[in-house]
Chain A
Amino acid sequence: MSLAPQVQTQSGSQGTPAIELRGISKAFGPVQANKDISIRVMPGTIHGIIGENGAGKSTLMSILYGFYHADSGEIFINGRRTLIPDSQAAIRAGIGMVFQHFKLVENFTVLENVVLGAEDGALLRPSLAKARAQLRQLAEEYELDVDPDARIEEIGVGFQQRVEILKALYRRADILILDEPTGVLTPPEADHLFRILRNLKAQGKTIVLITHKLREIMDITDTVSVMRRGEMTATVATRDTNPAQLAELMVGRKVLLRVDKTPAEPGAPVLEIDNLRVVDAKGVERLKGVSLAVRAGEILGIAGVAGNGQSELLEVLGGYMKGTGTVRVKGRPIDIAGHEDARDRRDAGIGHVPEDRQQAGLILDFAAWENIALGYHHRDAYGRGAMMDQAAMKADTADKMQRFDVRPPNPMLAAKNFSGGNQQKIVVAREIESGPDLLLIGQPTRGVDIGAIEFIHKQIVALRDQGKAILLVSVELDEILSLSDRIAVMFDGRIMGEKIAADTDANELGLLMAGITEGTA
């Protein structure tokens, strides 16, 4: 390969690294999550670690933070060999970590969360007073404004993330590790985060940024290390590389970063939604009058930050949540008041790839051939009456596995033994091959490796080209932009606006995702 891994030959390698890992290995049972990894991170830089899901990035950083124990290898902090048996030791060594899933106590205040574990004495009052003063100072210094008396459950994820950063800074961290920090943020929030990170770097802090988003690496890092299947495949200066090269290093072969598709040729409306409202079990109104139409031969993408009603939209259309309003598929009204279920929807020609494939899309302990029949088990192809034709089901599964490139192509294997990408291919194969007029597809590539993403995207476009209607929900803005023909942005249970995909960009959509329309801006 032309890209010979250059390990730390770039200019920044003079001086003592802030972090040096030597020969770190870690196995979870039979899975080797980290294989003999060595890396040097120079002080005062932003170092990116990129790799696909399951490449071992988070494991490596959890070892550095003392959350997991390495099977072998050494850690040097500022040149000194350091043992990190637990998080307390990491904190003492000046390391702070912002986990992908925040480690906050939801019903505590911001102040209590910051103080937890870093109290000055047995009584709380003096610690809280000291922290309050310090937070005010940190807020001024780094644009980290948060109301110290707000409860975590009352503030948005962007603010929750600031609390995590404040926790680290309050503990005097000089090294800050962030694991996929932008996954839950709107583009403006992500921009704000990056400003904070640049600011921290200017103050001499060392930052390690774990991400799978190439754009972020190119935007903000000085150096980038690439991981693939538990191994560190390369470390390069960011200015000497480009997204295509990084993608190739991540996957191990050339990949197409954009989706290849011809302009849409939309036909008659397939899905028509008018004034759809949904109230959830807690009595919160999740959809506040949504109206949409998806035409044949068209992909409508729903953009938005997670939790703004997209999930409820899919669930009510998929037949497992109640709502009010009118929904028509090919002109026929669909009952959304709760008298029909998911099976009626499938019989009405609606295929559904749910957002959470492990929870709603598959039964993990069932074999692939049983999962392929889920929701379609009553169809004649799979048997008569109460009796199921297992031989036909297995043959059908083998056929679908081959056409959707599911690896390993073994119908007898339990769903839980496939990788995330291959699990998703099983679900996608089942729903696309059932011949729907309308396909609902939520987070099609969440937790899926780049190679499988490419494949799944091709299948979705191919379905569109057969003249089917597709409603795509994704929190990955890049995915929405590259796959959709039209884009609707959801915020707080409402459609904030609809754009033609070719005529819009991340900035315009980002404002809509944050609830800012031209009128209010």
Chain B
Amino acid sequence: MDWATLLQILDATLRLASPLLLACLAGLFSERAGIFDIGLEGKMLVAAFLAAGFAATTGSVWLGLLVGIAGSLALSAVHGLASITFRGNQLISGVAINFLASGLTVVVGQSWFAEGGRTPQLGDGQRFEELTFPGATEIRDLPILGSLYSEVLSGHTILVYAGLLAVPLSWWVLYRTRFGLRLRAVGENPAAVDTAGISVTRLRFAAVAIAGVLCALAGAQLSTAEPAAGFVRDMTAGRGYIALAALIFAKWRPFPALGACLLFGFLQALALRPALFQQSFGFSIQGQLLDAMPYILTVIILAGFVGRAIPPRAGGEPYVKER
């Protein structure tokens, strides 16, 4: 594999990891507060659809993103209502959201645009453009660092950079602020939070809402960020589940989440280039096997081979006062 190809793969890694990372951080906030969120997939899908749909009709990608966030938040509210207010089963609520999203996007899309569930192709100005960093063209020819800067780091959409910035920000919020302390506490022992005089319900709704916003960014990256140009049915293609796998892989911590998503993004980038894989490693591999790697790695983690992955202790359990 030559240097240019490696740069290409790393560039693709960053682009493919970005929606995973945003969704993974969404899951992190929700699950750290004790609400399992299997509906990441559905929220991404609805946001991807609304963002593309409104970008196409209004011509403003930012308006599209805003509507996407609203749609994703609405699903978060459903999840919160079902699992926090009415103490329902969080997995069932999440699965229901995924089904709802997968069906609704196609039905609404068909009646809106009549293009078989797709949105119209997004042209210039209707999607997030790739940003070129200052000086990227000038130093492109410098060895290693120059090319890394201009080929890999530079040239992504603002959503990719938002995802990267969200990692230290999430860490700071979780570990350095009052809100973060309470959020982590409510995922471990909600009774401790309740007896300290803080509302468990409000905290958990806040966490679920943050998850909604992050999912929307992930969805918008899929449908409205270059080189993508519109929504296609079921375009999230299981990324919500891979994000959950990354979350377990990262043991519910922000920086390891970045590592896990980059690894999974790298695997996806490799899977897109089967010929290259054979050429550089000397044997060929089924693309499906690479696609399955995130799940296989997660099973290995869960089996305890790479240290223990201990989920937040109150995760999945609705909070009920004793009796």
Closest to B310 in A: A107
CA distance A118 to B177 in the complex (A): 13
Binds A, one of B71-79, B80-88, B179-187: B179-187
Q: Is A15 an interface residue (CB 8 A)?
A: no
Q: Which of the residues A97, A106, A112, A124 comes within 8 Å of B195, measured between beta carbons? A: A97
Q: Are A117 and B313 in contact (CB under 8 A)?
A: no
Q: Are B197 and A124 in contact (CB under 8 A)?
A: no
Chain A binding surface SS class: loop
A contact residues around B115 at 8 Å (CB): none
Q: Are A112 and B181 in contact (CB under 8 A)?
A: yes
Q: Which of the residues A28, A87, A127 comes within 8 Å of B196, measured between beta carbons? A: A87
Q: Are B181 and A91 in contact (CB under 8 A)?
A: no
User: How many B residues touch A, CB cutoff 8 Å?
Assistant: 23
Q: Is A418 an interface residue (CB 8 A)?
A: no
Closest to B194 in A: A87
A368-398, CB < 8 A from B: none
Q: Is B130 an interface residue (CB 8 A)?
A: no
Q: Are B178 and A87 in contact (CB under 8 A)?
A: no
Q: Are A116 and B185 in contact (CB under 8 A)?
A: yes
CA distance A3 to B179 in the complex (A): 54
If A28-B323, A106-B189, A113-B192 touch, whether A123 touches B182 (CB-CB below 8 Å) is no
Counting chain B CB atoms within 10 Å of each CB, the highest count among A90, A99, A124 belongs to A124
Chain B binding surface SS class: helix
Q: Are B313 and A127 in contact (CB under 8 A)?
A: no
Q: Is B317 an interface residue (CB 8 A)?
A: no
Q: Is A67 an interface residue (CB 8 A)?
A: yes
B169-208, CB < 8 A from A: 175-182, 184-185, 188-189, 191-198
Min CB distance A85 to B, Å, is: 11
Q: Is A121 an interface residue (CB 8 A)?
A: yes
Q: Are B313 and A108 in contact (CB under 8 A)?
A: no
Q: Are B195 and A65 in contact (CB under 8 A)?
A: yes
Q: Are B313 and A99 in contact (CB under 8 A)?
A: no
Counting chain A CB atoms within 10 Å of each CB, the highest count among B178, B184, B192, B321 belongs to B192
Q: Is A119 an interface residue (CB 8 A)?
A: yes
CA distance A108 to B175 in the complex (A): 11
Closest to A66 in B: B197
Min CB distance A404 to B, Å, is: 28
Q: Are A88 and B197 in contact (CB under 8 A)?
A: yes
B237-288, CB < 8 A from A: none
B contact residues around A113 at 8 Å (CB): 192
Q: Is A4 an interface residue (CB 8 A)?
A: no
Q: Are A88 and B178 in contact (CB under 8 A)?
A: no
Q: Is A125 an interface residue (CB 8 A)?
A: yes
Q: Are B323 and A108 in contact (CB under 8 A)?
A: no
Q: Are B197 and A87 in contact (CB under 8 A)?
A: yes
B contact residues around A87 at 8 Å (CB): 194-197
Closest to A117 in B: B196
A contact residues around B196 at 8 Å (CB): 87, 91, 103, 116-118, 167
Q: Which of the residues B176, B180, B182, B321 comes within 8 Å of A117, measured between beta carbons? A: B182
Min CB distance A175 to B, Å, is: 15
Q: Which of the residues B178, B188, B321, B323 comes within 8 Å of A124, measured between beta carbons? A: B178
User: How many A residues touch B, CB cutoff 8 Å?
Assistant: 33
B contact residues around A117 at 8 Å (CB): 182, 193, 196-198
If A91-B197, A108-B185, A117-B197 touch, whether A124 touches B177 (CB-CB below 8 Å) is yes
If A28-B323, A68-B321, A108-B185 touch, whether A103 touches B178 (CB-CB below 8 Å) is no
If A87-B196, A88-B198, A116-B192 touch, whether A122 touches B179 (CB-CB below 8 Å) is yes
CA distance A88 to B182 in the complex (A): 15
A112-169, CB < 8 A from B: 112-113, 115-119, 121-125, 127, 167
CA distance A127 to B176 in the complex (A): 11
B contact residues around A462 at 8 Å (CB): none
Q: Which of the residues B177, B182, B184, B192 comes within 8 Å of A104, measured between beta carbons? A: B192
Q: Which of the residues A65, A67, A97, A103 comes within 8 Å of B192, measured between beta carbons? A: A103
If A68-B321, A91-B197, A124-B176 touch, whether A119 touches B181 (CB-CB below 8 Å) is yes
Give the 8 A-B residue pairs with the shortest CB-CB distance, closest first: A117-B196, A88-B197, A87-B197, A103-B192, A119-B178, A103-B195, A105-B188, A105-B185
Question: Could you jot down 19 A-B contacts, CB within 8 Å?
Answer: A28-B323, A67-B195, A91-B197, A103-B189, A103-B196, A104-B189, A105-B189, A105-B192, A112-B181, A116-B181, A116-B182, A116-B193, A117-B182, A117-B193, A117-B198, A118-B196, A119-B178, A122-B179, A167-B196
Assuming A117-B197, A123-B176, what are 10 further A-B pairs, CB within 8 angstroms? A28-B323, A67-B195, A87-B194, A103-B189, A106-B188, A112-B181, A116-B192, A117-B196, A124-B177, A124-B180
Chain B residues within 8 Å of A, Cβ to Cβ: 175-182, 184-185, 188-189, 191-198, 313, 321, 323
Chain A residues within 8 Å of B, Cβ to Cβ: 28, 65-68, 86-91, 97, 99, 103-108, 112-113, 115-119, 121-125, 127, 167
